[in-house]
């Protein structure tokens, strides 16, 4: 399992939200996202998770300049997975050409499975699908709309398309430091053959241990956000746990 620090972008700044609320509960941690990316890489991060929050809400990429600076800053020292407002094959291509390793598609995948199928075909090995859940049901459009489809149902529909991973987020826990939803993450990992990345609520290293303790090999990673920014998880300690350097 790999640990993936998150950088959420709003108006060119590195921020964190609570429960995906784009209008309230916003905390700015760094007005220089490239500097923040450099900090995570310096701590040993192998991959960085970047979300264009403005893009997720508007449906169009909105922090391109900040994203390009981050990619330039960290070079090839860490992989970048990037999401938020990706609604076209052209945008996927642009981000991959700019240096991103993976593009994360959420709303567009749910609303237009043909687009997802084409993206997986044209950019094989580079597409991650974000499955964001409210009470087990898929949420879209920056988490402001909830569908009547369960996450596990969507996963079954998408797993044969060539998706590289599912990024599963329990919205109720996101940014709340209440602990990751281990049970739901493990259930999704059992449901699909596609690797699962856990997100939402990571609080302490005990959450890291809990994910590992499920024994689900399909859980291939975990996103760390507010827990890193506020110091409730020490990245170096967490890395030792996932690499077997600490029990």
Instruction: Quote the CA–CA distance of 222 and 225 in Å, as a whole number.
Output: 10
From 189, 234, 229, select the one nearest 207 (Cα to Cα).
234
CA 206 vs. chain centroid, Å, equals 20
- Neighbour count for residue 118 (Cβ, 10 Å): 14
CA 45 vs. chain centroid, Å, equals 14
**Which tokens sit at 124?**
């094989």
Per the residue annotation, which of 8, 52, 54, 174 is the catalytic one?
8
**What backbone phi and psi angles, to 5 degrees, belong to 168?**
-100, 125
Contacts (Cβ under 8 Å, ≥6 apart) of 57 = 22, 85, 141, 142, 144
From 16, 2, 21, select the one nearest 101 (Cα to Cα).
2
The question of whether 132 is a catalytic residue gets the answer yes
Is-contact 82 98, C-beta < 8 A? no
Per the residue annotation, which of 132, 170, 174, 207 is the catalytic one?
132
**Which tokens sit at 138?**
């898929």
Which residues are marked as active site? 8, 132
């Amino acid at each position: 399992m790999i640990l993936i620090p998150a950088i959420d972008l709003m108006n060119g700044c590195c921020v964190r939200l609570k429960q995906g609320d784009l209008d309230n509960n916003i905390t700015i941690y760094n007005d220089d996202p490239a500097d923040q990316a450099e900090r995570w890489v310096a701590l040993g991060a192998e991959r960085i998770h970047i979300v264009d929050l403005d893009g997720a809400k508007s449906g169009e990429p909105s922090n391109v300049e900040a994203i390009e600076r981050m990619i330039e800053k960290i070079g090839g020292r860490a992989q970048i997975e990037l999401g938020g407002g990706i609604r076209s094959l052209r945008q996927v291509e642009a981000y991959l050409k700019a240096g991103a390793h993976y593009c994360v598609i959420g709303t567009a995948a749910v609303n237009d499975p043909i687009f997802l199928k084409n993206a997986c075909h044209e950019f094989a090995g580079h597409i991650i699908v974000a499955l964001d859940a409210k009470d087990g049901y898929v949420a879209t459009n920056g988490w402001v709309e909830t569908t009547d489809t369960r996450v596990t149902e969507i996963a079954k529909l998408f797993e044969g398309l060539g998706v590289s991973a599912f990024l599963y987020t329990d919205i109720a826990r996101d940014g709340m430091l209440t602990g990751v939803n281990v049970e739901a993450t493990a259930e999704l990992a059992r449901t699909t053959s596609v690797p699962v990345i856990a997100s939402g609520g990571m609080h302490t290293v005990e959450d890291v241990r809990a994910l590992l303790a499920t024994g689900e090999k399909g859980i291939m990673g975990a996103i760390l956000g507010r827990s890193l920014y506020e110091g409730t998880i020490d990245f170096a300690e967490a890395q030792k746990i996932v690499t077997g350097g600490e029990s």
